[in-house]
Amino acid sequence: MKTRKKGERFDLVIPDKWKNVTIETILRKHWQAPKKLVHSMRMEGDIKVNGELIPWTETLSTGDVLQIRLFKDVEYDVLPTYGELEVLFEDEHLIVVNKPAGIDTHPNQPEETDTLANLVAFHHQAKGERCRVLHIHRLDRDTSGAMIFAKHPLCKAILDRLLAERQIKRTYHALVHGRLKQKRGTIAEAIGRDRHHNTRRRVSSSGQEAVTHYKVMDFRNSYTLVEVQLDTGRTHQIRVHMSHIGHPLVGDTLYGGKPIFNRQALHAARISFPHPLTGEMIDCEAQCVDNVGL
């Protein structure tokens, strides 16, 4: 699929597989964009074909150029802050970065400047891109690894849907206490809040569905290095589930791990997903840069 960015516009050449479709079909069926966003784009005249505004029910032909006003200048929603940022993938629609441990994903207060979102905002600013910092998922403060940010609302809406549909595959590496007897397994236990501790979560029959798959990568003395994949994305999911089966993460004192490291040994090592607008598969690997055995 041929695409290009021209100023505020995203130009997409209609491929043969999309001939005889309409603008409405592309937005609602192929991209499954939210109704509110589709309505806004229609009202603001954000979409043209070959330079002309046409009815959204008019069929398109192979080679037509769909021109969408996606890249509007907006104020940064977080304060741009200079800092080292490892970019794993980037185009005009999204960016995937390797989050270091020890920083939050986004500010909890408007004046905060020491989060990953602040670094991403500075990266956009340095490139001359004025766009909001739209995170698709989160990592705990002391978890490192691959994270996706969208650059405009249409991309965020599609990525949010892909996440809900489990089309965004996240692979983690974790070092846990003990030697697991099973080489692989699945933990399907609902997770809810711990009534006795504000920041803790726990396995609870009244909690939200949570499914974690793990397999053993290596044994290291009295520890096990495991690869983990999630079907759901509950707060502290890996930490809660591994602790629940008697193998808390090394360094995770909140869930029973010993303070061998100054953080839990958990790293989002890989993320793969279809590009929200082109469908091309994106596969990113993130190296763990601090010494926590991963």
Sorted by sequence, the CB contacts under 8 Å of residue 49 that are 6+ apart come out as 23, 58, 60, 64, 65, 66, 67
- What distance in Å separates the CA atoms of residue 229 and residue 233, rounded to the nearest whole number? 10
Out of 46, 140, 142, 252, which one is annotated catalytic? Answer: 140
CA dihedral 81, 5, 147, 78 (to 10 degrees): 30
- What distance in Å separates the CA atoms of residue 180 and residue 88, rounded to the nearest whole number? 32
Strand partners, 95: 90, 149
- What distance in Å separates the CA atoms of residue 243 and residue 67, rounded to the nearest whole number? 51
Q: Is the CB of residue 288 less than 8 Å from the CB of residue 101?
A: no
H or E segment to which residue 191 belongs = strand 191-193
CA dihedral 264, 270, 272, 275 (to 10 degrees): 90
Q: Is the CB of residue 282 less than 8 Å from the CB of residue 96?
A: yes
77 is catalytic: no
Side chain identity, residue 276: P
- What distance in Å separates the CA atoms of residue 187 and residue 109, rounded to the nearest whole number? 35
End-to-end CA distance of the chain: 38
Own/partner long-range contacts of 50-59 (Cβ < 8 Å, ≥24 apart): 54/23, 56/22, 56/23, 56/24, 57/22, 57/24, 58/22, 58/23, 59/20, 59/21, 59/22
Residue 68 φ/ψ, nearest 5 degrees: -115, 130
Active site residues: 140
